[in-house]
Structure formats: structure tokens, C-alpha cells
Amino acid sequence: MSSPAVQIRSRVPRLAGSAVERARLTVVPRRRVRAARVPFVTLVSLVLLGGVIGLLLFNTSMQQAAFAATALESQAGSLSAREQTLRMELDVLRDPQRVAERAQAMGMVPAVSSPFIRLSDGKVLGIPKVATPLDNLRIRPKAPALPASLNPAPVVVDAPAEPGASGPRNGRGDGRNG
């Protein structure tokens, strides 16, 4: 920075020393222009304030979102559990066994034949046949046989006929047997 000045000085002849001394250039002190402080401070304060408030609001909204997320999550959980329970109930309702039991309770029987009408010539294919209760399917397991102790073989006793005691003695026996 100082080297050009040195060179210049060295080139100046040492003749008019005093004149040179007088004419030596000095740096003019820069005029300091004082920028107005108020707008700057206001700006900085506003930025700071805005930042702080913005951050606060942002945080608050994130917290709000977290609350909302928790609430929605639990709602989603209970709704999906509800959906699954309903689906389970639906599956129970459309269980073929249940449908068949309801149908039989209403007096329905499985079809024994299903003829087709051929649309091209109106011919009936197959043999139309009415299903009767005899065609019913047993859809429940047969009740298990009673064990021997509960279902004893009938005891047959050959009672010798008493002489003179044959035939009904009175009307009661007949009435019972009906």
C-alpha cells in the first residue's frame, strides 16, 4: 500500500523542498455521514420480534398438529377396530351354515334340478322337478346315540295269564290307551 507513494516521493526532485513540504497531500478525512439509526434499529427489532413471534406461532401450531394427530390416530384406531368387528359380524352373518339354517327354518329346501331355457330355439334343457321336503339336506350333525346306560334295552317279561283275569277289568285302561 505504501510502496507507490515511496516511489513517487523518490522521483520528486529535492529542489523545492519547502514547496513540496507545503504542497504535500494529505488524506482528506472522510466525512462521516451518520445514517439514521432509528429505522435500522426498528428494522432489526421488527425482524427479531417477527422471528420470535413466528417461531412461537410455528411451535404452537406444531403442537396443535401433534394434538390433532394424536386425536386422529386414536380415532383411526378405534374406527379400524370398529370396521374389523363389523366385518367379523358380517362374516358370521353370511356363514353358509347360518344362511342354510335360516333358509330351512323358512321352509326352503335345496333345488333338485335346474332346467335351462335355450333362448335361440326356446327349448327346455334338463328335467324340471319340484323339490320336496324329502330332498332336504341334513345340515346339523346327527345327535349322538344315547349311551347304553341311558338307553337300556326294553325288558320283556312273559307274564303268565291269570285264569279268569283276561280282558279289561274296567273302562280306565281302555281310556288310557286311547
Partner 1 sequence: MRPSRPQPPAGRPAVRRKRGSVHLRLRLGFLVIAMVLSIFGARLVQLQGIDPKSYAAMAAAEGLVEVTLPAARGDILDRNGEPLAASVDGLMVVADPYMTQDRAPELAKFLANRLDVDYFRTLNRLREKGSRFEFIARRVPSTVATDVVTATREAGFEGIATRPDPIRDYPAGDVAANLIGFMGTDEPLGGLERTFDTQLSGTDGSARYEIGGGNRLPLGESTIKRAVDGQDLRTTIDQDLQWFTQRVLRQTVEDSRGDSGFAVVMDTRTGELLALADHPTFDANRPLASPEADLGSRAMSDVYEPGSVEKVLTVSGLIDAGKVTPRTRLKVPGSLARQDRVIGDWFDHGLIRLTLAGVVAKSSNIGTVLAADKFADGQLRDYLSRFGLGQATNIGVRGETSGILPDPSIWTSQTQDRIAFGQSLSVNAVQMAAAVNTLANGGVRVSPSLVRGTATTDEGRRVGTDTTTTRRVVSERAARQTTLMMERVVDPEVGVAPGANVPGYRIAGKTGTAQRVGAECGCYDGSFTVSFAGFAPADDPRFTVYVVVQNPRNGGGGGSVAGPAFAKVMGYALRRYAVPPTGTRPSRLPVEW
> Quick check: 82 binds partner 1 (CB under 8 A)?
yes
Task: Assess 75 for contact with partner 1 (CB under 8 A).
Answer: no
Residue 21 interacts with partner 1 (CB under 8 A)? no
Which residue's CB is nearer to partner 1, number 77 or number 168?
A: 77
Among positions 142-161, residues that touch partner 1 (CB under 8 A) are: 142
| Binding of partner 1 by 85 (CB under 8 A) | yes
Q: How far is CA 173 from the centre of its chain?
A: 73
Smaller CB separation from partner 1, 42 or 70: 70
Q: d(Cα 137, Cα 100) in Å, to the nearest integer?
A: 10
Q: Does 121 bind partner 1 (CB under 8 A)?
A: no
8 Å CB contact between 20 and 12: yes
Given a contact cutoff of 8 angstroms between Cβ atoms, the answer to whether 8 and 25 are in contact is no
Q: Any contact of residue 72 with partner 1 (CB under 8 A)?
A: no
Verify binding: residue 95, partner 1, rule CB under 8 A: yes
Which one among 23, 32, 116, 149 touches partner 1, defined by CB under 8 A? 116
Identify which range of 17-25, 46-54, 79-87, 153-161 contacts partner 1 by CB under 8 A: 79-87
Is residue 54 involved in binding partner 1 (CB under 8 A)? no
Extract the C-alpha cell encoding 118. 335355450
* Helix, strand, coil % in the chain, rounded to nearest 5: 50, 5, 45
| Closer residue to partner 1 in complex, CB, 116/178 | 116
The three state secondary structure string of 75-140 is: HHHHHHHHHHHHHHHHHHHCCHHHHHHHHHHCCCCCCCCCCEEECCCCEEECCCCCCCHHHCCCCC
